[in-house]
Amino acid sequence: MLDSRHGRRHFYPSAGYTVPALPGGHLSLAYRDSRYYFHSGIWYRPWHTGYVVVRPPYGIVVSVLPPYYSTLWVGSTYYYYANDIYYVSAPGGYAVAAPPTGGVIATVPTVSAPSPEQVGPYPEGTWYYCESADAYYPYVTECAEEWQAISAVPPDLLSQLSSTPSYPQGTWYWCESTRAHYPYVRQCPEVWRPVPANVPETSTGQR
């Protein structure tokens, strides 16, 4: 099934599809006396001698977002969308939520290739990701499909802006547990740590 809503184009197996074994790296979650498994935006439950793709129940919390998601601003809430499933920030990760009823005020859609002279409606500092090359512009300069606009600030940090200080332009965000900067990793189990993008200047006194 091709999911093409909210600026994404990604294939997922339909609900009811069965597999003999779970993919490596899946997460196991218990919810209301039932067992669910999560991997790359796909939810599974045990089924006979294998596993079946299902829709997750509202309220179940997963520690990471799917690798291909869109960020939506609806009313006063940030939603994260992938595979016809909506998530909201929750203690311990992201909770599956009912589809929002209000109009989407903003989203992070796919865009055409970036231009140094014109970046359209996206703020300065926006990253551009090419899925087929698994790399960001300008580390790759051509993309077989449309470039994806990636927020310069981690989406889960954006959802806390009311209580988050305003960091200067050029700030990077470091995830200690993964030992990597955003957006090279999209989710962080703990709080992102803002770090300056440039090495601070040091004064060398005269001898």
- pLDDT digits over 162-176, tens only? 444 555 556 788 888
In a domain, 84, yes or no: yes
Tens of pLDDT, residue by residue over 76-130, are 788 888 999 999 989 888 999 999 886 665 555 433 444 444 334 444 457 777 7
In a domain, 126, yes or no: no
Query: Is 183 exposed, middle or buried (CB count within 10 Å of its CB: 0-12, 13-18, 19+)?
Result: middle
In a domain, 152, yes or no: no
Across the range 21-49, mean pLDDT stands at 93
The end-to-end CA distance of the chain, in Å, is 70
Where among 83, 106, 129 does a domain terminate? Answer: 106
Torsions phi, psi of 155, nearest 5? -55, -40
Residues 6 and 35 reside in one and the same domain = yes
Percent residues over pLDDT 70 in the chain: 73
In a domain, 112, yes or no: no
Range of the domain at 86: 70-106
**In the chain, how long is the greatest CA-to-CA distance?**
78
Residues contacting residue 166 through CB under 8 Å, at least 6 positions apart: none
Percent residues over pLDDT 90 in the chain: 27
Q: What is the pLDDT of residue 62?
A: 94
Residues 8 and 37 reside in one and the same domain = yes
Q: What is the pLDDT of residue 174?
A: 86
Whole-model pTM?
0.53
User: Count of domains in the chain?
Assistant: 2
